[in-house]
Amino acid sequence: MKKKDCEENLDPKKHILILTADAGFGHRSAANAIQEGLVELYGDKVIVEVVNALDEPTAPNFLRESQSDYDRWVRNVPELYQLGYEASDNPVPTSILERSLVILLLETMRNLLDQYTPDIVVTTYPAYTMPMITAIRRKHCRIPFYTVVTDLSTIHRLWFDRRVSGCLVPNSLVAELAMSQAVDSSKITVTGIPISPKISLEKRPKNKIRKELGWLPDIPTILAVGSKRVDRLLDTLNVINHFGSNVQLAVVAGKDEVVYKELSQVEWHIPAYVFDFIENMPLLMKASDLLVCKAGGLIITEALACGLPMMLIEVIPGQETGNAEYVTAYGAADIAQSPIEVLETLDHLIKDDQALLKKRSINATQLGKPQSAFDIAKILWNAALQVKASAKPRKSKKLNLEEHKTDQKG
């Protein structure tokens, strides 16, 4: 798109800029789901750009590299990651972090506003909140700015700022946290974490989907999803393989080549279907009765939207602790982080004609929000329709630390 200085956009189409990052899968997946929802509902009336601001040339290299460092930290030194996460989630450290992010990312945010001239800006990554608010204010643009929170319970303070146009949250618990951080209740909407619209559009019964996938019908089906951050997957699958019950198993290695190679060499005693990576995760979830996974916000949200109960075998301390506590408290999941716990949990779920498993499925369905991407798309579309740009803004100027003090949360 041609560069402009936040002036009124004469294109009748609405331009929506979604900012995300690639620290884990959740932020990018949420952004893609919102884009899918907008395009599905409004077609050629809307132009949606999903941009990783950390990939922009003006973003500092160390911030860009922090995305790949995330995987190494949470896998190799989870306790240290937890310590850093919790230490930064306090008023004074958060304020210092926000000021630093503004200095580091302000130029990037201004450039993005110039390049895309959006009618509305959305972020699925908390580090962009303060820098984008500052950029919009400094350019004197009347552009609505929305945050979409992508964690279920343990929420960092970076997510919340009272000056956002809207704060879209996964549940009432996070809504209360937002209000406790001075976000006005009128700006908060419980939407759920945005997930692929494909989940809500898939209505076929399980057996029909299983037939399409080449799986057996009328048999308890376990879907196990791994990644390079899931260390306990192989031990868990070994228990399932020797469980001795009438079950079938589908395993997605999540692009972990080492795990995929090992899985391909296993002597399976139950029907097993092994994938390196798939694009149609919602379809596999809809065909399954139990999901074995880590406690990531995205995969838990997708499972809930499918009414799929979970066995959580990995929980990253700090960030994912709240996710695990949330779904177990409402009876939609169990935590099993050792082989004996996996065995006990499976036995309890499967016995008595899967009575407990069916109860877990009902609970998951009640928590799930399969329409989340569409609900968020409608909110953003209505906000974009109300945008009426005023006169061309004054030329923006460089921000120094003293000027930035006037923009701090009050």
> In terms of Cα–Cα distance, which of 287, 282, 364 is closest to 331?
364
In order along the chain (410 residues), what is the average pLDDT of each group of 10 residues?
A: 48 91 84 96 96 92 70 51 51 71 92 95 94 93 93 84 95 93 95 91 92 95 84 89 89 85 91 90 94 90 95 84 92 95 95 95 95 96 80 39 44
Both tokens of residue 89?
């989630």
Q: Are residues 33 and 175 in the same domain?
A: yes
Q: Are residues 172 and 232 in the same domain?
A: no
379 to each of 127, 138, 187, how far by Cα in Å? 22, 25, 11
Q: Cβ–Cβ contacts within 10 Å for residue 10, how many?
A: 6
Q: Are residues 232 and 181 in the same domain?
A: no
Q: Are residues 326 and 375 in the same domain?
A: no
> Helix, strand, coil: what percent of the chain each, to 5?
50, 15, 35
Q: How many domains does the chain have?
A: 2
Q: Are residues 309 and 381 in the same domain?
A: no
**pLDDT for res 322:** 86
- CB-based contacts of 86, cutoff 8 Å, min separation 6: 318
CATH number of the domain that residue 240 is part of = 3.40.50.2000
End-to-end Cα separation, the chain, in angstroms? 36
3-state SS assignment for residue 67: helix
Rounded CA-CA distance 130/109 in Å is 10
**pLDDT for res 94:** 66
3-state SS assignment for residue 273: strand
**pLDDT for res 296:** 86
7 located within any domain: no
350 located within any domain: yes
Q: Are residues 399 and 303 in the same domain?
A: no
Question: Which range of residues forms the domain containing residue 291?
Answer: 198-367
9 located within any domain: no
**pLDDT for res 401:** 41
- Whether the CB-CB separation of 130 and 97 falls below 8 Å is answered with no
The whole-model pTM stands at 0.81
- Whether the CB-CB separation of 266 and 286 falls below 8 Å is answered with no
Alpha carbon dihedral 212, 213, 218, 223, in 10-degree steps, equals -150
Q: Are residues 99 and 53 in the same domain?
A: yes
273 located within any domain: yes
3-state SS assignment for residue 216: coil
